[in-house]
Structure 1
Amino acid sequence: MRLILLCVSPILASCVAAPEPAALAETTPNDVNAADELSPDEAFAHGIVLRDSNELEEAFTYVRSAAMRGHKEAQFELGLWYMTGNRGVREDFEQAAKWIEQAAQQGQPDALTYIWQLYFYGRGVAQSDRRALQWLQRGAGAGLPMSAYYLGLFHYEGIATPVDHAEASIWFEDAADQGVPGACYYLGVMSLEGDAVEQSNEDAAYWFERGAAQQHPASMLAMGDLYRDGTGVDQDVKQARAWYRKAKAQNEDTEVQSAAAARLEELEAAEPE
């Protein structure tokens, strides 16, 4: 089950190998007092200006001051620094999870996107599929498209909840309507198989085409299959070849690349151009 969610976040994937930077120098009481004299909004804004000027020690002081006073954007920013181990802060997933969760509790969208992943992978917190599911539910309820998509996957695969493809289809459609190509792919598969939705080859073609239009590898491969077999579309070997070539040319999914290459060879052997 965990393979379907591998490398959800490029930051979570890349930070594992991030080099450890030098630690920030200790802040002085004067620095702290100056930051605390500003409102949380002002402290955060000034911290970002300092960050962008590469004045990292002072930036940390101002952002942390705002975060400690409940500023959700500052909390997420601080958590991100700890997660990635940059901006002069040593990588520390426990601190990252602490601040990101505080921001998520206040509904900060980016924090909601990351916190479920921290629980799912057990980075800085005890691994918990149940907590990951709860955070996905909150993110999806807040209208976040990727949260809706992964919530659909949790229901589809039965992660921390019973397998429920009907419920999965609801969240996939929510995500697809917000432009998530992977959700379009799953709806295509479910329509093709009549899995928790009405069986319809035409609907399958509709969803696969929407995913393929956004360069989703498996959707492009599926479009090739539909045109090859005349399923939900008029049979068209040239169109099938075109989609297989697109699926082969992408670099995101090597399994799809291999499958597309094999299908092209089969077509060209049967009916060379």
Structure 2
Amino acid sequence: MQEQYANTYESATQPLRYTDNTLAQRGDVVLYLHEEHGRVKEARMMRVWDSVYYQDGEPIGVILVDAASPKNTLPELHTFTVTDRWGDPHLYFRGKITVPQHKIPYQLFPLFRMGFYMKQWNDETQRVSVVPQPPNEPYPEPDEIYEEFFQKTVLKHAMQRNPYCLFTAGLWQRQKHYPHRALEFYRAAATLNFPAAWLELGLAYQGSDLLQRNPEKSAACFQQASSLHNPLAYYHLALCYINGRGVPQSDTFAVEYLQSAVEAGILPAFYTLAIYYRTGTFNKWRPKNSPYRAIEPVEPKHRAAFKLLKRAAEEKWEHTAECKFHLGECYRLGEGVRPDLPTAHELYKDVILTGSQLAEEVLEACYYTGNVLQLALSAEAGSAYAAYLLGRMRLYGEQGVEKNKIAGLRYLRIASESPYEFADMAGRMLQQKEDVTWTFNQL
């Protein structure tokens, strides 16, 4: 029988706390920097509903509700089960918005607190003590909290050089299409070592409406953000090392930073590192004319690639379809898992339904499932790769498709006239006089 152990009691050993070591308390009105895949997309004014912990005192996180909601508002709660070391299951809960301790330093800043005292954690004594709250503005009631109030509060703290609020002001200026004003706020926050600001500067130096492209400065900003443990900066710095962009090229450093990004849950890092482990090379992420494409591949790590792809394919994000395709390849080829063609085909079908219809992964999924209609539509839409795949299927009767030499040659001719790598192979097929069968992995 499961018991619900998640509670709102304080932990005596691991209390949830802000960067100044004061404890997150019920009723705190906070600035919440909402992230999507590691990048801050929105700033909100929220209220701490409460902190929740596991039965052993380890923190689950701070549950937030909208600051303007009534004080007795119950957040949307989700239950989950954790099995202890003895094999007994225990039921816990978290809120729809729950900020764990490792994200509090980057996402939460207390704007208002109730009462005259607050609790503080002492790292040396490992104890909680009660300290006076410094004088501040009166604690706002929910009906006093609206957009103008939020903006005035943030700007006031920004004038006092609070890095969270400086960054938020830059975010708002960017949303209002004032890029140069945004840049001033980002730089101010960066001088105070705010990781998200260094990340934004790094992205800006890649070439944007904020700054002209400067690979060296971009990589330096990512280096600084990485030193402050920004997870997405790990990923972007890895891409710099993959292509020698602003830093000396190094696959070794790229792998190290990708591993750090994976540990922090950055999904693009899962995908990038998985392909490297599958193929032994980062060439998928390099331009066709890159000199680094000549780097000798390393030994693939198929089991590691399979695990990364499986994890990334479970999430809904922009590259879910591509991850599912490569996961299907693992099942088809038995890479890191036992061969399982039915599972591979189910993944391919899902890729076709959810992916971009002109993406190579989608087209190859069509090839493996014998989806002639979708390939024909993509070829008519201008995809030379679809024409190549369809041409060989028709010419040789691959994947159970009925042979049609005339149609096959017509599509291969279209592919052979394209500027892509597969054009040479299409040309060789056109010159074949004998009726031979090619396997996809040979090409």
How big is the shift at 1:54?
A: 4.8
Alpha-carbon displacement from aligned partner over 1:220-269 (angstroms, at most 9, x marks no partner) = 444444444xxxxxxxxxxx322323553666x74344223543576472
Q: Does 1:199 align with 2:339?
A: yes
Instruction: Give 1:148's aligned amino acid.
Output: F
Instruction: Name the structure 1 match of 2:259.
Output: 137
Tell me how far apart the structure 2 counterparts of residues 222 and 114 of structure 1 sit (CA, whole Å): 28
2 CA distance for matches of 1:90 and 1:187? 38
- Please give the secondary structure, in 2, of the residue aligned with 1:199: coil
Q: 2:269 aligns with which of 137, 147, 157?
A: 147
Q: State which drifts further: 180-189 or 51-60.
A: 51-60
Letter aligned with residue 324 of structure 2:
C
The answer as to whether partners of 1:220 and 1:246 remain within 8 angstroms in 2 is no
Q: TM-score, normalised by structure 2?
A: 0.45
Q: What is the CA–CA distance in structure 2 between the aligned matches of 1:53 and 1:220, rounded to whole Å? A: 37
Q: In structure 2, how many angstroms separate the alpha carbons of the residues matched to 1:97 and 1:44?
A: 20
Aligned residue number for residue 224 of structure 2: 102
* Aligned residue number for residue 258 of structure 1: 388
Query: For the residues of structure 1 that align with 2:184 and 2:365, how far apart are their CA atoms?
Result: 53
Query: Where does residue 248 of structure 2 map in the other structure?
Result: 126
1:76 equivalent among 199, 211, 217: 199
Contact 2:278 2:301 in 1 (8 A): yes
Q: C-alpha distance in 2, partners of 1:73/1:257? A: 44
CA distance 1:75–1:250, change in 2 (3 Å): farther
Q: CA 1:91–1:175 in 2, change beyond 3 Å: closer, same or farther?
A: same
1:241 aligns with 2:372: yes
Task: Tell me the residue number matched to 1:234.
Answer: none
Q: How does 1:165-244 map to 2 (within 5 A)?
A: 165-179=302-316, 180-215=320-355, 217-228=359-370, 240-244=371-375
How far 1:125 sits from its partner (Å)?
Answer: 1.1
Q: In structure 2, what is the Cα distance between the partners aligned to 1:85 and 1:173?
A: 33
- Could you list the runs of 5+ residues in structure 2 that have no partner in the other structure? 1-156, 282-296, 408-443
Q: For the Cα contact (< 8 Å) 1:191–1:199, is it kept in 2? A: yes
Contact 1:181 1:214 (8 Å CA) reproduced: yes
Counterpart of 1:263 in structure 2: which amino acid? M
Distance in 2 between the 1:197 and 1:144 partners? 24
The percent identity for this pair of structures is: 21
**Structure 1 letter corresponding to 2:302:** H
| Unaligned residue ranges in structure 1 (runs of 5+) | 1-33, 229-239
CA deviation after TM superposition for structure 1 residue 110, in Å: 3.6
Higher RCO (Cα < 8 Å, 6 or more apart): 1
1:44 maps to which residue? 167
Q: CA deviation at 1:211?
A: 2.0
CA contact (8 A) 1:223 1:243 kept: no
SS at match of 1:197: coil
**C-alpha separation between the residues in 2 aligned to 1:71 and 1:122?**
26
Deviation at 1:150, TM superposition (A): 1.2
Equivalent pair of 2:351/2:365 in contact (CA under 8 Å): no
Separation in 2 of the partners of 1:191 and 1:130?
28
CA distances 1:53-95 after superposition (whole Å, capped 9, x unpaired)? 45554433321110121111211111122111532x3322211
CA distance in 1, matches of 2:350, 2:256: 29
**Distance change in 2, residues 1:76/1:162 (3 Å):** same
Shift, 1:205, TM fit: 0.7
Which residue in the other structure is 1:62 paired with? 185
* Displacement of 1:109: 4.4
* One of 299, 303, 311 as aligned partner of 1:162: 299
Paired residue for 1:31? none
User: Could you tell me which residue of structure 2 aligns to residue 25 of structure 1?
Assistant: none
CA distance in 2, matches of 1:82, 1:63: 13
- The alignment of Structure 1 onto Structure 2 pairs a total of residues equal to 226
TM-align CA RMSD: 3.1
Taking a change above 3 Å as real, the CA distance of residues 225 and 169 of structure 1, as seen in their structure-2 partners, is: same
* Segments ≥4 residues shifted beyond 6 Å: none
